[in-house]
């Protein structure tokens, strides 16, 4: 069942989104060669707690971190660790929080120091594809319109669009109906309505769209071990139009 939010409920989600905005400002300064993903995880946890919120990732289904830290070929759900980031890598960081019972969810892919043009372009196109999807998030359209816009934009540039991991509705729960694939057919899927709040999150691979899950049961990697990028925001469809709550 799709939960339609009232304007007052979206305002509560907006406040949860404001916390995430502040985290991205902090991480822009902290992601660099030599830092461990465990340190980044600790900084994010401290920030969330200091703003009166709680992590919606830590402990979720047994996940050990406040952030997902996904380096190079890791698509999503990488564990924070004592591993230090290296020059030329990319890292996808996925995070969110709960404030007064309402969730926010967001992801960015960072360049670690000087990266190849190939990786720079992958990160750029992934981010741009998110906004192509958001352009289709309007009353009367369908979920398939969002996914098709993302898929068309990325595949026309030679990238693989992950199929097995998708975006989702969000509100009082981290994951709500409907699923929001990053691929699809125009005019198909759930009807988009004012009051819907979605986590739209392209996961785009340099090579094949195929992925596999490692033995820890969480870490999702590209099957060909080529790099992957991730970009996500919590997005509300209000009476005034689309509002990105985590940007």
Average pLDDT over residues 48-70: 97
- How does residue 113 score in pLDDT terms, banded at 50, 70 and 90? very high
From CA 107, how far away is CA 130, in angstroms rounded?
Answer: 11
Indicate the SS3 state at residue 205: strand
From CA 34, how far away is CA 8, in angstroms rounded?
Answer: 43
- How does residue 95 score in pLDDT terms, banded at 50, 70 and 90? very high
Fold of 7-244: Creatine Amidinohydrolase (3.90.230)
Amino acid 28: pLDDT: 97
Strands 220-222 and 197-200: unpaired
- How does residue 138 score in pLDDT terms, banded at 50, 70 and 90? very high
Give the dihedral of Cα atoms 24, 29, 33, 36; nearest 10 deg.
Answer: -60
Amino acid 75: pLDDT: 98
Average pLDDT over residues 223-233: 98
Among residues of the chain, what percentage have pLDDT more than 90? 100
Amino acid 78: pLDDT: 98
Amino acid 61: pLDDT: 96
From CA 218, how far away is CA 172, in angstroms rounded?
Answer: 23
Provide the residue ranges of all domains of the chain, joining segments of one domain with +.
7-244
**H-assigned helices in the chain:** 7-30, 37-50, 117-134, 143-155
- How does residue 23 score in pLDDT terms, banded at 50, 70 and 90? very high
Among residues of the chain, what percentage have pLDDT more than 70? 100
Short-list 16, 59, 64, CA closest to 37? 64
From CA 241, how far away is CA 238, in angstroms rounded?
Answer: 5
- How does residue 17 score in pLDDT terms, banded at 50, 70 and 90? very high
Residues in the chain: 247
Amino acid 226: pLDDT: 98
């Amino acid at each position: 069942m799709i939960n339609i939010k009232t304007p007052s409920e979206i305002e509560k989600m907006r406040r949860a989104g404001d916390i995430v905005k502040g985290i991205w400002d902090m991480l822009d300064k902290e992601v660099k060669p030599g830092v461990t993903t465990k340190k980044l995880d600790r900084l994010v946890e401290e920030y969330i707690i200091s703003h009166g919120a709680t992590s919606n990732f830590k402990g979720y289904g047994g996940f050990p971190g406040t952030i997902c830290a996904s380096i190079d070929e890791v698509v999503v759900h990488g564990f924070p660790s004592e591993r230090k980031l290296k020059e030329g890598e990319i890292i996808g960081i996925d995070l969110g929080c709960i404030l007064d019972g309402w969730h926010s969810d967001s992801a960015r892919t960072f360049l670690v120091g000087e990266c190849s043009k190939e990786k720079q372009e992958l990160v750029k196109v992934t981010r741009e594809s998110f906004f192509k999807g958001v352009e289709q998030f309007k009353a009367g359209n369908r979920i398939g319109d969002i996914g098709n816009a993302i898929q068309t934009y990325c595949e026309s540039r030679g990238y693989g669009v992950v199929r097995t991991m998708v975006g989702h509705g969000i509100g009082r729960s981290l994951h709500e109906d409907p699923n929001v694939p990053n691929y699809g057919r125009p005019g198909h899927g759930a009807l988009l309505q004012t009051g819907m709040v979605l986590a739209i999150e392209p996961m785009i691979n340099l090579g094949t769209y195929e992925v596999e899950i490692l033995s820890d049961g969480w870490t999702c990697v590209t099957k060909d071990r080529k790099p992957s990028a991730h970009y996500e925001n919590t997005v509300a469809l209000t009476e005034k139009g689309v509002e990105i709550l985590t940007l």
